[in-house]
Structure 1
Amino acid sequence: MPRPRKFVESDVVSSAGEVFAAHGLAAATLDDLVRATGLGKQSLYNAFGGKRELFLRALSEDREEATRAVSEALGHEDASALEQIRGHMLRLAIELSSSDRRVSLTTRALVESTGEDDPLSTATKAGIEQLAEVYAQCLEHAREDGDLPDDANVQSLAVYFVAVTRGMELLGRAGVGRAVLTAVALDALRALHGQRMEAADGSPSLRE
């Protein structure tokens, strides 16, 4: 009897994540996963339980990576909280307009989630909450610094920024250019205190 092939789970999850990011959960096939991971179908089932379970594993890794990236972007002590958010949003406008950037699994899950009480929807909501908490902490610092009104709803604003950034990601994937994504980012920032943070020469069209 041949010995079972050894593999590194983290490598398999990472490779599967690339497949899911490219195709989504529904469209990705077991054959796609077999080609990407180098494991047979039975091995994938034995190790992870199935396609959906493997997606959830990859989604968990993606969620932690996304949270870590936002935490690092908003963790510079040499800038005010609002300056950190501004820099973060403008960098995202550049990064998300790249034609070769893949959609994150967090955003894929958000699009494919049914909203029902199932593991995918539960994991998706957990990802939103985790990202929102990072924004909320930064916005709370802004309120403490006097850059936001005392009655600002920090939690609501945090979820708002999650929604805007996920939307920017989908727009970038659809081919919307940097100029439009930058305008979206700046408009989101203006919503923090109801005034223009940067003069605009005009609103770019979706074709720019």
Structure 2
Amino acid sequence: MARTKTFDEASASRLARETFHDHGYAATSVQQLTAATGLSRSSLYDTFGDKHGLFLRSFAQYCEDNADVIEDELAGDQGGARERLQRHLRTKIDGPSSQRGCLLAKATAELGATDDDVAKTSTEFYTRYERALAACVRDAQAAGDVRDDLDAMAIAAMLLSLLRGIETLNRAGYPTTSLAFAVDTTMTMLAPAT
């Protein structure tokens, strides 16, 4: 007779995600995962297959959750589209997760070139992110707050590159004043001619 699961898989996945986020994939042991989730080794393996299966589940949910938040932030009704863009860029400098870094960036750097599943999930996330940025740019262009002679998708690609650079430099201890200057300069360059 099969045993009934007495734990919530989504909760276990979230707890594991925090451990992977703190230590990286390779440096996270199964012992750390069982301690973090409260699962026995057998429950972990029965439910997720192995450490890699648990990581993929945790990573996919992290990407989904973050894409949802980003889409909401950029499409929200807090101020105009230009203000939403600038606020989004600035939160990557001094927001609550700015020093911890992004699990997506960490996982992509560690596994993206060797793990097709991680690469696929990362690409799907970045595609959603770029589309959300482009939609916000188009809204700002329609309001006359961003240059309309530039392609919205091209601007979105530039902003996504800037965001990833901000994260890397921020984690390396680069001065936040310089990062803020980069954001402000980018927004100035996107402003329509007066």
TM-score by length of 2: 0.84
- Paired residues, what number? 193
The CA distance in 2 between the partners of 1:121 and 1:190, in whole Å, is 34
**Comparing 38-47 with 149-158, which one deviates more in the overlay?**
149-158
Please identify runs of 4+ aligned residues in structure 1 that moved more than 4 A: none
Alpha-carbon distance, 1:57 to partner: 1.3
Q: Map 1:165-180 to 2 at 5 A.
A: 165-180=163-178
Which runs of structure 2 are paired with 1:52-201 in the superposition (5 Å)?
52-77=52-77, 79-95=79-95, 101-115=99-113, 118-193=116-191
Identify unmatched segments of 5+ residues in structure 2.
none
Task: Specify the SS of the correspondent of 2:26.
Answer: helix
Distance 1:141 1:59, change over 3 A: same
Note closer, same or farther for the CA distance 1:67–1:5 as it changes in structure 2 (3 Å cut): closer
**Structure 2 match to 1:204:** none
- 1:49, CA displacement in angstroms? 1.6
Give per-residue Cα distances to partners, 1:21-50, cap 9 Å, x unaligned. Answer: 111122222122111111122221210122
Question: CA 1:119–1:102 in 2, change beyond 3 Å: closer, same or farther?
Answer: same
Query: In structure 2, what is the Cα distance between the partners aligned to 1:140 and 1:107?
Result: 26
**Percent of residue pairs bearing the same amino acid type:** 29
Structure 1 gaps of 5+ residues are 196-208
- Residue identity matched to 2:57: R
**Is contact 1:97-1:177 (8 Å) kept?**
no
- 8 Å CA contact 1:67, 1:130 repeated in 2: yes
